[in-house]
């Protein structure tokens, strides 16, 4: 058989397979798979007030990952726990409705740092144990690495340099990370969320009832970079954003279209733009933004 005939047969075979796949997909009654089947809500929580938040000299004596909460931080975490409980537990008014029983299970992911673990411990005091599907520690949602034991004066100088250079790309010296590094590991964590959800839930059943809340107990910068990755905010939009307050409860709810939407109150508090005002859409009509 000639080379031309082999090529024609290959092209015909490939085209046939493509048409078959298109025909098969168009005749299927299944809706396309969506992100995080079975998940109704994502909650992101920054740890409560820590010793390092009130005295940065603590980082020179104690390893960052061993910095504990203050008493006030524990109280803040309890308040956060009450808010989480109010979101996942049906009220007396709607307890017997489909909406009231919809999202009463919760799965926790937590940074391995002591302050986030202690925050989670206080939160768990407010959540009925029979509603907790699981608890998993994940180092990829830990704090940005600033180096090991940190000299207070050196750290102040480094943070001033970061402000001038840009928070996303500035890399802390002596083994530290940039915001870009944290973004990359948070991106990997989001991939794990999607795999966990897909493995736990059957997609057809999940679309009938989104019944689970995911709660992620993390750090201010990691929380913002999670949102940056999830909603595809630009580097410029990240640079204009702010950390949420200690023990802030940031909520993403699934809307009727199947997408997750950031609470407007939380979005405004952190300085992120609305969906319609995101740079990725404005670029389509204003190329001059690429010069900034």
* Residue 245 neighbours by CB under 8 Å, 6+ apart: 46
Q: How far is CA 108 from CA 27, 54, 74, 216, 219, in A?
A: 39, 27, 18, 6, 15
Residue 143 among the catalytic residues? yes
Cα 75 from Cα 70, distance rounded (Å): 9
Q: Which two tokens stand for residue 230?
A: 């999830």
> Taking a C-beta distance cutoff of 8 angstroms, is the pair 216, 106 a contact?
no
Among the listed residues 47, 49, 219, 237, the single catalytic one is 47
Give the SS3 label for residue 181: helix
Q: Which two tokens stand for residue 132?
A: 């907790």
Q: Which two tokens stand for residue 176?
A: 């530290």
> Taking a C-beta distance cutoff of 8 angstroms, is the pair 242, 266 a contact?
no
Cα distance from N-terminal residue to C-terminal residue, the chain: 59
Q: What's the farthest any 2 CA atoms get from each other in the chain?
A: 82
Cα 105 from Cα 245, distance rounded (Å): 26
Among the listed residues 40, 49, 122, 143, the single catalytic one is 143
Q: Catalytic residues, which ones?
A: 47, 143
């Amino acid at each position: 058989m000639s080379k031309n005939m082999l090529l024609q047969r290959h092209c015909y075979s490939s085209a046939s397979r493509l048409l078959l796949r298109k025909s098969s997909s168009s005749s299927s009654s299944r809706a396309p798979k969506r992100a995080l089947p079975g998940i109704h809500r994502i909650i992101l929580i920054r740890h409560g007030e820590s010793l390092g938040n009130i005295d940065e000299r603590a980082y020179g004596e104690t390893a960052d990952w061993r910095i504990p909460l203050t008493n006030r931080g524990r109280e803040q975490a309890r308040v956060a726990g009450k808010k989480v409980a109010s979101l996942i537990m049906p009220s007396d008014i709607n307890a017997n409705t489909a909406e009231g029983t919809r999202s009463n299970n919760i799965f926790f992911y937590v940074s391995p740092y002591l302050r986030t673990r202690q925050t989670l411990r206080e939160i768990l005091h407010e959540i009925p144990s029979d509603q907790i599907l699981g608890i998993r520690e994940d180092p990829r949602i830990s704090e940005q690495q600033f180096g090991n034991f940190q000299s207070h004066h050196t750290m102040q100088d480094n943070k001033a340099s970061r402000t001038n250079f840009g928070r996303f790309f500035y890399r802390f010296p002596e083994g530290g990370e940039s915001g870009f590094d944290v973004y990359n590991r948070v991106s990997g964590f989001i991939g794990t969320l999607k795999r966990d959800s897909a493995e736990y839930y059957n997609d057809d059943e999940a679309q009938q009832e989104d019944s689970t809340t995911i709660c992620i107990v993390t750090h201010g910068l990691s929380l913002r970079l999670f949102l940056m990755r999830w909603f595809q905010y630009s580097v410029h939009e990240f640079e204009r954003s702010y950390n949420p307050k200690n023990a802030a409860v940031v909520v993403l709810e699934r809307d009727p279209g199947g997408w997750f939407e950031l609470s407007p109150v939380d979005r405004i508090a952190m300085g992120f733009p609305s969906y319609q005002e995101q740079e990725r859409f404005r670029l389509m009509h204003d190329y001059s933004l690429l010069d900034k």
